[in-house]
Chain A
Amino acid sequence: DAGVIQSPRHEVTEMGQEVTLRCKPISGHDYLFWYRQTMMRGLELLIYFNNNVPIDDSGMPEDRFSAKMPNASFSTLKIQPSEPRDSAVYFCASSLTVLAYEQYFGPGTRLTVT
């Protein structure tokens, strides 16, 4: 079975540019989570969806970040405009149930903003 799929795996962009990260959750999973991982702050939850509806976006750092889930098999995290401090590894995870301990993580997208 395919796990969570993320693309691209690596992204290098210049400050001010728009960045779009993509995620395909495991088929049949109703919950989708976006995380950011940095050395300084560790792994932080940005936003999560249930049945394509955003449930909690309190972790989204600022208005430059937005996330959408147009259907059950696809989600995007967009940063516009990007800044050097956005450099991090962004993970997508999905879960079958409401219970948080069923999350399966993708391989991540390493974003570098110069």
Chain B
Amino acid sequence: TQLLEQSPQFLSIQEGENLTVYCNSSSVFSSLQWYRQEPGEGPVLLVTVVTGGEVKKLKRLTFQFGDARKDSSLHITAAQPGDTGLYLCAGDQDQGGKLIFGQGTELSVKP
């Protein structure tokens, strides 16, 4: 059983389209992070959200933490081919160092 469920698993869109990726759980997390991973490389941290209802923006990317701190979403506006990659959400339940990762969303943005 996956503690963090990401959807969709795969997403193929055209340049300029908007998209949203979801990360859901029945468990509460003290913080939730989003990573982006390119082929042959390790995940790179994009953002961390720690407060229920928190919204953070990173250029065309908007991240939201659910009010109950059980879910999160990543919205990309006007996607570009450079956004292509594997997007991973990861949750920390006890601030003890253990991250639980979702299965990831494979995004492909075609020019």
Q: In the complex, how many residues of chain B place their beta carbon closer than 8 angstroms to a beta carbon of chain A?
A: 24
Taking CB atoms and an 8 Å cut-off, the chain A residues in 45-69 that contact chain B are 45, 48, 50, 55-56
Number of A interface residues, CB 8 Å?
Answer: 24
Q: Which residue of A lies closest to B49 (CB)?
A: A101
Main DSSP-derived SS at the B contact region: loop
State which of A31, A103, A107 has its C-beta within 8 Å of the C-beta of B45: A103
Is there an interface contact between A100 and B44, defined as CB atoms closer than 8 Å? no
B111 at the A interface (CB under 8 A): no
Asked whether A100 and B99 contact (CB < 8 A) given A42-B104, A43-B88, the answer is yes
| Contact call A56/B42, Cβ cutoff below 8 A | no
Q: How far is the CA of A56 from the CA of B93 in the complex (A)?
A: 14
Query: B: which residues have CB within 8 A of A?
Result: 2, 31, 33, 40-45, 48, 50, 88, 90, 92, 95-104
